[in-house]
Amino acid sequence: MAALQNSTLDAMKNNQPQLLTEWIKGLEANGATRNLKEQDLKQQTAEFLHLVVSGLEKGNGQNVAAPGWDEARQYLEKLSHSRALLGQDSHQTASFIFSLKGPVFGLLQSHYKDNPAVLAEQLWEVSELLDALGMHTIRTFQKSREAVIKRQQEELLELSTPVVKLWDGVLALPMIGTLDSQRTQVVMESLLQRIVDTGSEIAIIDITGVPTVDTLVAQHLLKTVTAIRLMGADCIISGVRPQIAQTIVHLGLDLQGVVTKANLADALKLALNRLGITVSKTV
Amino acid sequence: MDRIPILQMGDFLLVTIQVDMHDQLALTLQDDLSERISRTSARGVLIDISALDMVDSFIGRMIGTISGLSKIMDAETVLVGMQPAVAITLVELGLTLPGVSTALNVERGMKLLQERVREQ
Amino acid sequence: MSPRSSGTHPINIEQDVVLARQLARKLATECGMRLIDLTKMVTAVSELARNTMVYGGGGDMDWQIIDENSRVGLRLTFRDEGPGIPDIKLAMTDGWTSGSGLGLGLTGAKRLVDEFELDTAPGQGTRITITRWT
């Protein structure tokens, strides 16, 4: 396959302002500039075009994995990452690169108007290169999006069940909704960490809002109670519904040594009692 | 280091484990402690493992043995400062250390020991 | 699936078990493992490395950091040329021990990792491979 000719490179290098204007026009036309500031767009297009030209100058051809394209690749990675954070979709991000094709093709068409064979060949080369860069952008964009989603999932998990301080030395974990194994694990871990951080001696896990548990979750609850004891704190489980009690007994799980109370209020009363705190009404 | 230091505080012995112990070191500590309990007639032993980032079945067994030994020699053992990740791992491993008293930190452990000794 | 990096660590004396734990901790950190998962992995390493030393009469721990799709994993293989395990089913029973331990080494280690593979026969040595993913 023929390589990109120097003449093509020169044509691109010497006509950067023209390419930029047409590129931005193209981007605006297909809606790829939404949510982007004009200033940023101008800067991004100029910087990237410059990187493409300098990448070509280093003579690396279309192999965008070559070291000569490092800068351009890193720039695209940064760009697609920032766009993923802005909430742009992959289509818009990819359009950023693909929209450059039109202006470059136009430029080459007039540059090689007397030599159709070379024109076709050079168009193919440029097209290959921009496709490769575009693919790279989509790949990194996807990765950034996955990272964003993963982070949000983790945040959601932690937010969904907050550990609250009921009293000095008493933490409570009110669990609501169906518990799956992963959620239980994350929540329990954060409870254990909070026990250390706050130096709380008693933790109450309230499962009034939990309609049902499966074997794994029930086992997880019991393991947490044991882990809390190993750390040197006490655990009270409150609000065990009849169905859950049945499940636990049915599964043959050993609840020995686990203190249970009918509701959160009773659990708190027991906790205060253990800490030697009395609450009384002022007359 | 081939020995873990044992500090004496009144009627109690305090051991702070801060190194990644190899098995022999753990066994030596077990021997040293029982010898010290009998020599000093200590009433309680406090084992601080807040600096340990891992407890495997060997160290777990050592802790259980120390607790059992000291009970026979009329001393209470309290294990303090186990990190959350260590506690979760130990439970997963199947080692729940029944019969070993625990506390969140040295201060609480000391209080617990004093209460226990006073009760007797 | 491709190994990002790999190596071998000898396990012959007690101090090697400590070093194997420390190496596993370093590798797990490199993989970006969460503290809980890291602690589980290091504890499993401690159990298996001790088995290699005590029952296998010494051996090696091969390590590998692997990239697979979007996850990273730490895979460790404990190899020895010892007597092997005659009854795998019995060895994988909680509380059963051929030595003086608690009998939690093998079964416990299995519960602490995502993947556990045991390859042994009497007189053929033992090979245990464990993997934990981030």
Q: Give the domains, in start order, of chain C with CATH numbers.
A: 2-133 (3.30.565.10)
pLDDT in tens, A243-260: 888 888 888 877 777 899
Cα→Cα distances B87→A88, A225, A228, C43, Å: 43, 10, 7, 12
Interchain proximity B104–A233, CB inside 8 Å: yes
CA angle in degrees (0–180, nearest 5) for C25-B106-B19:
30
pLDDT, average across residues A98-116:
86
Distance (Å) from the alpha carbon of C35 to chain B's nearest alpha carbon: 7
Cα separation values, A50 from A45, A71, C13, Å: 8, 11, 60
Alpha helices in A58-166 (DSSP H): 70-86, 90-98, 101-111, 116-160
Q: In DSSP terms, which residues pair with A2 in a beta bridge?
A: none
Residue ranges and CATH numbers for the domains of chain A are: 6-157 (1.10.490), 164-275 (3.30.750.24)
Chains touching C (at least 3 CB pairs under 8 A) are A, B
- Residue at token pair 């000794």: B117
From chain C, the residues in CB contact with B22 under 8 A are 14-15, 17-18
Beta bridge partners of B80: B48, B103
Q: Nearest chain B residue to C105 by CA: give it.
A: B57
The stretch A219-234 carries a mean pLDDT of: 92
Residue-level pLDDT at C21: 95
User: Mean pLDDT over residues C27-35, rounded?
Assistant: 92
Q: CATH top-level class for B6-119?
A: alpha beta
Q: What is the CA radius of gyration of chain A?
A: 31
Whole-prediction pTM: 0.73
How many angstroms separate the CA of residue C36 from the nearest CA in chain A?
Answer: 8
Region for A263 from its dihedrals, namely left if φ exceeds 0, alpha if ψ lies in -120 to 50, beta otherwise: beta
Question: B-chain residues within 8 Å CB-CB of A226?
Answer: 91, 96
Place A1 in a pLDDT band, splitting at 50, 70 and 90.
very low
Q: Where are the domains of chain B?
A: 6-119
Q: What is the pLDDT of residue A32?
A: 66
- The structure tokens listed for A31 are 């809606």
Collapsing DSSP to helix, strand or coil, C105 comes out as helix
The rounded mean pLDDT for chain A is: 84
Residue C75 has pLDDT above 50, yes or no: yes
Give chain B's count of helices (H) and strands (E).
4, 5
Q: pLDDT band for A273, please (50, 70, 90 cuts).
A: very high
Which residues in chain B show pLDDT less than 50?
Answer: none
Say how far apart CA C79 and CA C10 lie, in whole Å.
10
Average pLDDT over chain C, rounded to whole? 88
Q: What is the pLDDT of residues A137-193, one digit of tens each?
A: 888 888 888 888 888 877 776 666 788 999 999 999 998 887 777 778 888 888 999
The residues pairing with C74 across neighbouring beta strands, listed in sequence order, are: C65, C132
Residues of C in contact with A189 (CB under 8 A): 36
Residues 146-175 of A with CB under 8 A from C: 146
